[in-house]
């Protein structure tokens, strides 16, 4: 599956990931949300397409009629960008995998649950959140199957939202059952399963860029003569993002 995107002259494509809004608590999240808003306002003039690679929220759950409280400024800004006809692509992460159609219908953005390939100005991009890819992380993959199971989801929807959101927040922040343990080893290139995955995919089909989030460590490396792996990092510790001007892709850091 391939998507072709043409960028108007002078415009850029921006990529960001792993904001985890809502964590670890209201006040700290609010500060990070304001940094991200400033960044969104900064990219506003130049943005030709916006990619959000998941975990925008630390816990998100979509009820049939109820929207979780909070994050209205970021949601409003994304809607505003999308309303101007600028395409916004959202890849759900393991923390916001319970999105259904609110983002598509209310914000008018594209939501993806799986990795996807894009052609942007003649370059190929392989994009995803990054969770559950490659051969590792069996425990997490089983957990994901349970969480994505429709019976489990229906049961959860019947729990009162005040309790459901609290439960979700608990599992997300305290228990790490959704996110898994943060692995310091991933900072090194060896034994990084996401880099191995990109290399494996690149053996089958060459692409220019492999972009992921999920690991929270910004990284830009060559995996082949003409292919690069870029991890977008996060908006918790690194405030990192990527921009593509139609020719070059750069990993950058937002000065907070
Ligand atoms: Mn994350």
How big is the chain, counted in residues?
256
Residue 188: CB atoms within 10 Å:
11
Q: How far is the CA of 231 from the centre of ligand 1 (A)?
A: 12
Q: What is the pLDDT of residue 150?
A: 82
Burial class of residue 158 in the structure, from the number of CB atoms within 10 Å of its CB (0-12 exposed, 13-18 middle, 19+ buried): exposed
Q: How far is the CA of 9 from the centre of ligand 1 (A)?
A: 33
Q: What is the pLDDT of residue 141?
A: 79
Of 127, 121, 143, 129, the C-alpha closest to 211 is: 127
Rounded CA-CA distance 131/169 in Å is 19
Q: How far is the CA of 215 from the centre of ligand 1 (A)?
A: 7
Q: How far is the CA of 44 from the centre of ligand 1 (A)?
A: 24
Could you list the residue range(s) of the whole structural domain that residue 75 is in?
A: 12-253
This prediction has a pTM of: 0.93
The secondary structure of residue 103, as a DSSP letter, is I
Rounded CA-CA distance 126/206 in Å is 10
Tens digit of pLDDT per residue, the chain (256 long)?
569 999 999 999 999 999 999 988 899 999 999 999 999 999 999 999 999 999 999 999 989 898 999 999 999 999 999 999 999 999 999 888 888 899 999 999 999 999 999 999 999 999 999 988 877 667 777 777 777 788 888 888 899 999 999 888 888 876 554 555 566 667 777 778 899 999 999 999 999 999 999 999 999 999 999 999 999 999 999 999 999 999 999 999 999 8
Of 117, 40, 114, the C-alpha closest to 78 is: 40
Q: Is residue 69 part of a domain?
A: yes
Q: Is residue 5 part of a domain?
A: no
Q: Is residue 2 part of a domain?
A: no
Q: What is the pLDDT of residue 173?
A: 75
Q: Is residue 141 part of a domain?
A: yes
Q: How far is the CA of 230 from the centre of ligand 1 (A)?
A: 15
Q: What angle do CA 176, 182, 188 make, to 5 degrees?
A: 165
Q: What is the pLDDT of residue 217?
A: 92
Q: What is the pLDDT of residue 176?
A: 56
Residue ranges with CB less than 5 Å from ion ligand 1: 18, 55
Q: Is residue 33 part of a domain?
A: yes
Q: Is residue 6 part of a domain?
A: no
Of 99, 128, 98, the C-alpha closest to 116 is: 128
Q: What is the pLDDT of residue 74?
A: 97
Domain at 248, CATH number: 3.60.21.10
Q: Is residue 163 part of a domain?
A: yes
Q: How far is the CA of 10 from the centre of ligand 1 (A)?
A: 31
Buried b / exposed e over 82-101, threshold 16 CB at 10 Å, is: beeebbbbbbbbbbbbbbee
Q: How far is the CA of 208 from the centre of ligand 1 (A)?
A: 24
Q: Is residue 3 part of a domain?
A: no
Adjacency order of strands within the sheet including 228-231: 2-5, 116-120, 123-127, 209-212, 228-231, 219-222
Tell me, rounded to whole angstroms, the distance of Cα 121 from its chain centroid: 22
Parallel, antiparallel, or unpaired: how do β-strands 240-244 and 249-253 relate? antiparallel
User: How many separate domains does the chain show?
Assistant: 1
Angle between helix axes 26-43 and 72-83 (nearest 10 degrees) is 20
């Amino acid at each position: 599956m391939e998507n072709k995107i043409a960028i108007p002259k002078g415009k850029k494509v921006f990529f960001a990931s792993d904001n985890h809004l809502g964590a670890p608590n209201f006040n700290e999240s609010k500060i990070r949300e304001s940094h991200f808003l400033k960044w969104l306002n900064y990219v506003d003039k130049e943005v030709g397409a916006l990619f959000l690679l998941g975990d925008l929220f630390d816990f998100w759950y979509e009820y049939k009629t109820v929207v979780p409280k909070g994050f209205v400024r970021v949601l409003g800004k994304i809607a505003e960008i999308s309303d101007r006809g600028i395409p916004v692509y959202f890849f759900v992460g393991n923390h916001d995998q319970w999105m259904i159609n609110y983002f598509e219908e209310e914000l008018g953005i594209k939501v993806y649950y799986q990795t996807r390939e894009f052609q942007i100005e003649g370059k190929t991009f392989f994009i995803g959140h990054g969770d559950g890819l490659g051969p590792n992380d069996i425990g997490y993959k089983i957990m994901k199957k349970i969480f994505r199971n429709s019976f489990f989801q229906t049961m959860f929807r019947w729990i009162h939202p005040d309790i459901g959101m609290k439960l979700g927040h608990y599992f997300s922040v305290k228990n790490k059952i959704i996110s898994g343990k943060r692995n310091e080893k991933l900072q090194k290139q060896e034994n990084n399963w996401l880099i191995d995955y990109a290399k494996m995919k690149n053996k089958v089909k060459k692409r220019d860029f492999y972009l992921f989030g999920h690991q929270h460590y910004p990284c830009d490396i060559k995996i082949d003569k003409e292919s690069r792996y870029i991890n977008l990092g996060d908006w918790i510790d690194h405030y990192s993002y990527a921009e593509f001007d139609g020719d070059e892709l750069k990993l950058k850091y937002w000065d907070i």
